[in-house]
């Protein structure tokens, strides 16, 4: 369903009910087969020349307008990427970068045609002091149109008339693309790539390690991507799917795990601090890691008096030297080191 949402701007979840009215089936319907009814009182699926009616989720009163079909149609939850240009359907993000996408396609075709001709450049043929016979012109055109294409090495024989006392016959073939033609439109394709990523609000480091992007910039980009793109998208999907949970119980809600930007080493330090501060228990850490709980792991860790005093001092920041150090420390949180040779960071 989410693949359809990203590709077409619309995603459809099908919900089927048992004869008792309970939810018995949850599935996916291809977005390309679905249509929204003009009065928004349901959906129509057009497939193999047949039309099937679906109710809005939770609607049990609207009757099936298609004669000959069952009176208990399945229901649909519709997700869409909003656009002010249409009141019924959404549009995918790629529409905003359709010019860049088309440019990539045509530039790719250009490069493909170039390599299909074995990277042979275009030529200008000049003849001075004579005129080629029709047979020579035919052989020359046939060589370039048929004989040269797809061949690595070929020979060409062109019969020329002999020199005269008044003129000397000259024949030249000059390439007009003698330079390096490999990877044409390289900069253009890079700008198209950036435009496509911008339309999807995806940082460039998600598709590799581009030049000019250091660790600090990549970390900030990942944080922005998580908070402004991934989290809102998860919240929208959670809200839609929780409609199904609400029919069963109000004791729980569905919530997706968020994209994590913390590596294992940093997470272990966080867990260590929480264990020393008696915020969590060992079993909470083990369960999150997929490990089996241990006996006594549901109790907080009891520290020795000296370790407890140290943890309390760190939590309350009661040491004077720690307070002075924190007050005079520069605001460099989240910044990375300069690359080697760039010198020290300055404000």
Q: If the chain, 347 residues long, is cut into consecutive pieces of 10 residues, what is the mean pLDDT of each piece?
A: 95 93 92 94 92 92 84 92 93 94 89 67 73 76 66 62 75 67 75 92 84 78 90 93 90 88 83 85 88 88 76 69 71 54 58
**Do 170 and 124 reside in the same domain of the chain?**
yes
168: Cβ–Cβ under 8 A, 6 or more apart, which residues? Answer: 129
Q: Which helix (H) or strand (E) holds 198?
A: helix 186-200
Nearest CA to 195 among 81, 107, 90, 96?
A: 96
Token pair of 290, please? 């997929």
Kindly state the DSSP code that residue 148 receives in the 8-state scheme: S
Element (H, E) at 75: strand 75-80
* Same-domain pairing of 55 and 13: yes
* Residues 82 and 15 grouped into a single domain: yes
Kindly state whether residue 6 falls inside one of the protein's structural domains.
Answer: yes
| Residue 205 included in any domain | no
What is the structure's pLDDT at 154?
A: 58
Residue 188 lies in a domain: no
Which pLDDT score, from 0 to 100, does residue 150 have?
52
Q: What's the number of domains the chain is made of?
A: 4
Calpha distance 215→285 (Å, rounded):
29
Residues 134, 145 share a domain: yes
Q: What is the pLDDT, as a whole number, of residue 13?
A: 96
Q: Are 277 and 315 in contact (CB under 8 A)?
A: yes
Element (H, E) at 23: strand 23-29
Residues 51 and 129 in one domain: no
Residue 63 lies in a domain: yes
Asked whether residue 102 is domain-assigned, the answer is no
Please indicate, yes or no, if residue 204 is contained in any of the structural domains. no
* Side-chain-facing half-sphere of 5: CA atoms under 13 Å: 16
Q: Are residues 171 and 245 in the same domain?
A: no
Instruction: Judge if 254 and 286 occupy the same domain.
Output: no
Q: Which pLDDT belongs to residue 340?
A: 55
Cβ 68 vs Cβ 50: under 8 Å? no
Angle between helices 98-116 and 186-200 (to 10 degrees): 150
> Under DSSP, is residue 132 helix (H, G, I), strand (E, B) or coil?
coil
Residue 97, in any domain of the structure: no
Host domain of residue 233 = 212-261
What are the b/e assignments for 27-51, b being 16+ CB within 10 Å?
Answer: eebebeebebeeeeebbebeeeeee
Give the dihedral sign, CA 184/187/188/192.
positive
């Amino acid at each position: 369903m989410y693949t359809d949402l990203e590709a077409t701007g619309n995603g459809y979840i099908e919900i089927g009910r048992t004869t008792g009215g309970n939810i018995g089936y949850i599935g996916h319907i291809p977005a390309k087969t679905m249509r929204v009814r003009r009065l928004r009182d349901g959906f129509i699926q057009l497939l193999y020349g047949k039309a099937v009616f679906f109710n809005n989720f939770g609607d049990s009163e609207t009757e099936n307008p298609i004669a000959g079909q069952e009176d208990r149609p399945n229901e649909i939850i519709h997700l869409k990427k909003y656009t002010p240009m249409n009141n019924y359907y959404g549009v995918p993000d790629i529409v905003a970068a359709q010019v860049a996408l088309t440019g990539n396609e045509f530039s790719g075709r250009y490069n493909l045609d170039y390599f299909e001709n074995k990277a042979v450049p275009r030529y200008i043929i000049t003849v001075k002091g004579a005129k080629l016979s029709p047979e020579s012109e035919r052989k020359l055109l046939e060589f370039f149109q048929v004989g040269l294409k797809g061949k690595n090495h070929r020979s060409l024989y062109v019969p020329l008339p002999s020199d005269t006392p008044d003129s000397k016959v000259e024949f030249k073939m000059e390439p007009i693309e003698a330079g390096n033609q490999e990877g044409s439109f390289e900069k253009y394709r890079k700008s198209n790539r950036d435009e496509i990523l911008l339309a999807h609000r995806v940082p460039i480091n998600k598709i590799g390690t581009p030049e000019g992007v250091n660790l600090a910039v990549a970390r900030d980009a990942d944080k922005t991507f998580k908070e402004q793109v991934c989290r809102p998208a998860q919240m929208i999907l959670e809200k839609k799917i929780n409609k199904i949970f609400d029919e069963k119980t109000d004791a729980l809600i569905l919530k997706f795990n968020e994209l994590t930007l913390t590596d294992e080493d940093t997470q272990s330090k966080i867990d260590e601090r929480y264990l020393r501060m008696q915020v969590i228990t060992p079993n909470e850490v083990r369960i999150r890691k997929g490990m089996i709980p241990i006996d006594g792991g549901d109790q907080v860790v009891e520290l020795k008096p000296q370790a407890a005093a140290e943890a309390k001092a760190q939590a309350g920041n009661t040491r004077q030297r720690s307070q002075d150090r924190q007050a005079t420390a520069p605001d460099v949180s989240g910044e990375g080191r300069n690359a080697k040779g760039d010198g020290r960071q300055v404000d």
